[in-house]
Structure 1
């Protein structure tokens, strides 16, 4: 059995209503008998105006519409139906004795889905009707599945938002306690094994807090609840501050983190918090994939109407086949110290860069290191 036959067998014909429109009573009765015997619901009209009324009232799934009628012909009736949002999606099969190619072309121009030439036989009638009903059934399935998918995505985003929001506060407290513990104790006071466990817990709390922060921002961004708040600010007043936050983290991994000042003052027009978030994610990523003893440089420069902010590391690099998809793959990765990454941070970086009118980029050589950059618009001179 063919796939089409299987789908047809799953269609309950009694769920579908067909509107028959013809000014000849005998034609209406014949079609009504044939289609009722085929288990379809049937309603009728004897002119164009009545067809328009019935289409709105009965909401049929298909209209069999005679072309030659005394008040409004079938073509003009179809034009009216297709202009009305209530009836524009109802498929139409024209019933006609016309076989002039120009009439057929005109019929399709005004919205015909098919033609049935008079006189017609039962087999052809049922075949053409079923073809349109199958399309209607398939469209209903697609609409239903889209609605279900939309609800699933909305529920997922709500769940992500709740998880991230409710866990951030306790995670921030845990992170603060662990930061304090690592700073006030040493291997000599608590022993090397306990200190190593504290250090590991401290690093993992930092990563978990950052992940929750990214998750909350990403969810808000995807659901349209995170708006871009444009400001004019100097990069020199923002970038060094973000770098300072990561200096201690880099030193704990014996990595040299260097900020290279720009030779010129650059004022950008962008969302300050989003810019900081992107730099923060790029730095976190660079530290994660840079081995001990290596370095990371942060710098920015002017490129036409944009400023390009870059974080360059000398770490493990990225395989050539992964470079093109690095910003949207979202796969789990592991750093040089076993740090686990979700890939969400890089997706967020590209999203934020594009929301500000720029974009995110990566250049990498496996085994030598990577440079992650993003661009944002420079403030336009008045």
Structure 2
């Protein structure tokens, strides 16, 4: 850390003129700005007026000694952060303890050594510089957090709701306006707009939830729910999306499985896994969602028979540092955030998430949930 001594003011307080002059010469040669006081009362007045960065304070002075002056300085919020180095011929344990008790940062024994003095002064100045850097970075971080929270608010209120409305309208249009009614070209444009809107809405929804999770604003509320019922409700939503791509979406599960989980988190994981399965499946294929019991846990598997993931890319999944993403079979674009969110949310629900995949054969993503106790 580079320090410019000319940016710092040192107040020298000593009732002996020769000591003041010697200290002044030594520190002026090092380019420090120097101010002097000859007793405790004058020191208190100058500190209030000049706000020095460091105080070299003699202990043995008439009227107000160094210990008392230091005590008063540390009791004032305006001067409590200014470090104090005591200059003293006192070297008993009791005196040293008292010096630290009243707020001293260091001691220099009289008669002092030039090298020792400069090292101790420079050390305190380094601590001041480090504190300033920390305060500056803290302020920058505060502004960054304010900007992030503003972005969070925009995503939550100003973007997500209207995008959801647009998504619903486009879904209805593409289902009720076949290509032989509006022409192949217009139908393709409508399909492209629908696909893009779905991707943007999913990204906004995932980004909103991921931000909530990362900044600690995600409230996890465990309750007893039927995981089969939850999965069925998500499948009902995606049946329309799957039919547009000519993909059969079906479920294999017992009649009911009671688990203890946060229902919103559970829906988010299921929704993202089914969305990915559809995205990476070939038209005319099938996506199967299976629910089963295994060793006191419910397991949910989402299996597709699409393009799969090669072994090298599998290593990049579920890691925030790689943030891997790729295109779907119909060039659907992804951010890579959905799987990271699923991994995080599965763990928040008390379970784990894992996958198996083979290139050109398909993938199965699975997660576990604790059963109802």
Q: What residue number does 1:158 align with?
A: 150
* TM superposition score normalised by structure 2: 0.75
Please say which of residues 328-337 and 112-121 is displaced more in the overlay. 112-121
Equivalent residue, structure 2, for 1:258: 250
Paired with 2:38 and 2:301, the residues of 1 have a C-alpha distance of 70
1:358-377 counterparts in 2 under 5 A? Answer: 358-377=351-370
Per-residue Cα deviation, 1:348-382 (whole angstroms, up to 9, x for no partner): 323333433444434434444333333444333xx
CA distance 1:83–1:174, shift in 2 (3 Å): same
After TM superposition, give the deviation of residue 155 of structure 1 in Å. Answer: 0.4
- State how far apart, in whole Å, the 2-side matches of 1:155 and 1:139 are: 24
1:299 aligns with 2:299: no
Does structure 1 retain, via aligned residues, the 8 Å contact 2:222–2:262?
yes
Tell me which residue corresponds to 1:233: 225
Greater CA deviation, 281-290 or 304-313? 304-313
Q: Please report the RMSD computed on the Cα atoms of aligned residues, expressed in angstroms.
A: 4.5
Q: 1:235 to 1:91 in 2, by over 3 A?
A: same
State the partner residue of 1:211.
203
Structure 2: how far apart are the matches of 1:43 and 1:286?
Answer: 76
Where does the alignment leave 5 or more consecutive residues of structure 1 unmatched? none
> Which residue does 2:134 correspond to in 1?
142
In 1, Cα distance between equivalents of 2:241 and 2:365: 19
* Deviation of the 1:216 alpha carbon: 2.8
Please name the residue that 2:337 is paired with: 344
| Partner SS state of residue 312, structure 1 | strand
Name the counterpart of 2:267: 276
Matches of 1:219 and 1:175, distance apart in 2: 22
Classify 1:91/1:170 alpha carbon distance in 2 versus 1 (closer, same or farther; 3 Å). same
Deviation at 1:261, TM superposition (A): 0.3
The reply on whether 1:129 has 2:141 as its aligned counterpart is no
Instruction: Note the C-alpha offset of 1:162.
Output: 0.7
Q: 1:65 to 1:217 in 2, by over 3 A?
A: same
Structure 2 distance, partners of 1:53, 1:302, is 77
Q: Does structure 2 retain, via aligned residues, the 8 Å contact 1:323–1:362?
A: no
Higher deviation after alignment, 178-187 or 216-225: 216-225
CA contact (8 A) 2:152 2:211 kept: yes
Q: Deviation per CA, 1:208-236, whole angstroms, max 9, x where unpaired?
A: 22222223333344444442233221112
Which runs of no fewer than 5 residues in structure 2 stay unpaired?
Answer: none
Residue 313 of structure 1 is matched in structure 2 by: 304
Using a 3 Å threshold, how does the CA distance of structure 1 residues 176 and 263 change in structure 2: closer, same or farther? closer
- Pairwise CA distance, 1:199: 1.9
Measure the CA separation in 1 of the matches of 2:367 and 2:171: 30
Q: 2:84 & 2:368 partners in 1: Cα distance?
A: 52
Query: Alpha-carbon deviations, 1:330-353, whole Å to 9, x = none?
Result: 455311110111122223323333
Q: 1:63 to 1:263 in 2, by over 3 A?
A: farther
Bigger shift: 33-42 or 347-356? 33-42
Q: Is the 8 A contact 1:358 1:375 kept in 2?
A: yes
Change (3 A) 1:332 1:265: closer
Go from structure 1 to structure 2 and tell me whether the alpha carbon gap of 1:174 and 1:263 turns closer, same or farther (over 3 Å shift). closer
**SS of equivalent residue, structure 1 residue 310:** strand
* 1:85 to 1:280, Cα distance in 2 relative to 1, 3 A: farther
| Pairing of 1:1-382 with structure 2 (within 5 A) | 7-8=2-3, 11=4, 13=6, 15-18=7-10, 27=19, 30-31=22-23, 34-35=26-27, 38-42=31-35, 61-62=53-54, 64=56, 116=108, 118-122=110-114, 124-262=116-254, 265-268=257-260, 270-302=261-293, 304=295, 306-315=297-306, 316-320=308-312, 322-328=314-320, 329-380=322-373
Counterparts of 1:205 and 1:133 in 2: how far apart (Å)? 57
1:351–1:99 distance in 2 versus 1, CA, 3 Å: same
Cα displacement (A) at 1:144: 0.9
Cα 1:93/1:161, change in 2 over 3 Å: same
1:285 shift after superposition: 1.4
CA contact (8 A) 1:320 1:366 kept: no
Q: Deviations over 1:260-282 (max 9, x none)?
A: 204873322x2211210111011
Aligned residues: 367
